[in-house]
Chain A
Amino acid sequence: MRIRRLLIPALLCSAASAAAQQRGNDHGSVVIIMGQEPSTPIPTLLNGSANIAVSDLLFLRLARPGPGLTTTDERSFEPQLARSWSRRDSLTLVFELDPRARWHDGAAVTARDVVSSFARVRDSTIDPQRALLLRYLATVTAETEHRVVMKFRRAYPGQFYDASYHVQPLPAHLVEQIPRGPAFATSEFVKNPVGNGPYRWVRRDPGRQLELQANPGFFLGAPKLDRVVFLTARDPEAQMNLLLDGTADLFEAVPPVSGPVRLARSPSTRLLTVPSLSVLYLLINQRAPGDRQRPHPILGDVEVRRALAMGLDRLNLARSTYGRFALPAEAPAAQAHWTRRLVPGGPGYQPAAARALLARQGWVDRDGDGVLEKNGVPLVLRLSIPATSATRAIMAPQVQEQLRRIGVRVEIVRLDFPVFIERRSKGEFDLDLSVANMDPSPSGIVQSWSCAGRAGSNVAWYCNAALDSLLDRTIYTRDGSEKSWRAAYAMLQADVPAVFLASPANSIAVHARYRHVSFRPESLYGDLWRWSVDPARRIARDGAGAPSR
């Protein structure tokens, strides 16, 4: 009896000490370098990848795409705020919210939050981009405290993706008190956001850093890393130096050529690659520069565009610009898009055939200067690139050289980024090297490659009614199938509104002490809360614990 009396407290103490030790071992921190400042990581105010990265740690979605990023199969999605979902018919989706979900101020996440957030996002004066994406959503209603019903106007494969991905619910009890309009951006909520995700807001020092703290009551499991600090560093040298001197633990934009060489000397850092949702392409202006009423005098001819596509060696361009971190692209489908496997093989690199095609169109080199002419007009094109982009600065001379071999003279115009964007949006260019950072759903191609997109992102004014109709059928009807995606990509390849060159991967340097490291293409840090620090490799700042607010 006496032994028992002594043994039980001893066992309890031992268990408590083991738990405390375990908690101690779970401590950790991560310092992430960002090239842009996350100044407003609030859904509906989001601009730029830095804001999105932080916002994804603060605010969950109803569900997120599974590892394959198949956006048309709702069974492949993973629960987030919604623990389950079902269909009443082809137009009605029902989401059951997880009753354990809480806002960081302790209030429960309810259907009212979801309804109110959808109302905000669908207001085109608040978020025109998402309002457009949700145009086929008819109503969002709260049936019970934890049940949300969404009715659509059309039955299409991407319904579930649209319903779950585009909106990150905000706390209605806080946001509804703020007047609509510009007051929201300067409100107390934006200064100190209250989310529902694995990390909660601590503070932002403008121009320097933003700090988050683990939310121990996170309903999907307490995060293992206590502190997440996002450092703002714009200079590429400073970014790498911060990583190499140990100030930071993670950098998501390692320069593809020089970065791996420098990191090889740092045993504490490892380099990981994650498929991206971006595609680099040579955009071809369909209209005369500065006068969109007239077709482009040279590039208006589809055969010339096809010749340009055949004159470019994509594999070579991708390898020499991004090293092993990119794949050649044949369509606006990135490495991480599920439709990438549906893209038909393009014409490939055929410089002799390209030259022959140009000759058939009347472009011949009569004066022997190496540049083709037609009716006395030389085949000279201006290629605009933003001076700040290192990868495009590497690729542009290679494009110039490859096209020189088929008799096209390319003049590279390096522009300040604001001038590059201005000329692009006004259509004042022949060719430009652009990067498209797309949504997980391939349906985003409508915005850049449809006739309707001319009022927005389709700056080269490419328009093919047959493709519009095909895309509409593919994306917004239940007839949409892999076959129709193939046909749409093939039509784009035949029209050559652009030469799609490469889809780069995210090359991420991360400290070797982290375990369970994983990144998601659509939300790089979506699984950060599952990471932990190897107890044997902890460094001083990992033991710091949570900061005081």
Chain B
Amino acid sequence: MSRDINRILIGTLSLVLAGVWGLPFLYSVWTAFHPERYAANFQWNAPITFDNFFEAWNSAPFALYFMNTFILITIVLIANFILCTLVAYAFVRYRFRWAGILFALVMVQLLISPEILIVENYLTLSQIGLTDTIIGIALPYLTSAFGIFLLRQTFMTVPKSLDEAAQIEGAGAWRVLWTVYVPLARPIYLAYGLVMVSFHWNNFLWPLIVTNSPEVRPVTVGLSVFATVESGIEWSLVNAATLMTTAPLIIAFIIFQRQFVANFMRAGIK
């Protein structure tokens, strides 16, 4: 009997906690779907409207921002898939002098990530004349220690016998990589790709520093400019723009939920 009461108590408590936790987001959603004059006074029967979304979409070049983020993510994804694969392959399949030291040096990037080196990276970028370009935003992120680590862990699980069988059939280094190692790591590529997409969709400080013109701004920077300057701080518009810019990520997350969670757990193994 007391167990049941306990269950009900804990159940109620947890629902309250979940409700409170969701409150800031729900309030933002509610405001985005209602006319501006209801932003300050909450009413159950306020009319629902989509106008905020149309108005926000039309008052800043969001389509362009989305396109820029899309290009940025495509560049980073392709570069990471290729470059991290190459490095991981070298570490797993070959022996060479100072391999241990080199690996440790690569792993330094897990701690000292490009986000905290904004000062010098900006100077480098302006020396080579790539500020205010999408490739400039992407440049520090084209290889990542995290990707190399993940792929190395995966490649190490590939049975040596498969590798040798391919060699006996006359496959060279590139064919072995392409026909043995890469196919076996496919789930990792998907999971790592998802993490990269979410990271670069969210990344803000570096693109904010590098970009000046709307033509190259990714959505996060575009959103912050819109929220502070262009909207005239009209809350329903700001909230609509906030939702609009995050919706694709939320939808992608719901579709790929399993891989996301699986990858976060895999990251936990290290």
Q: Do A and B come from one complex?
A: no
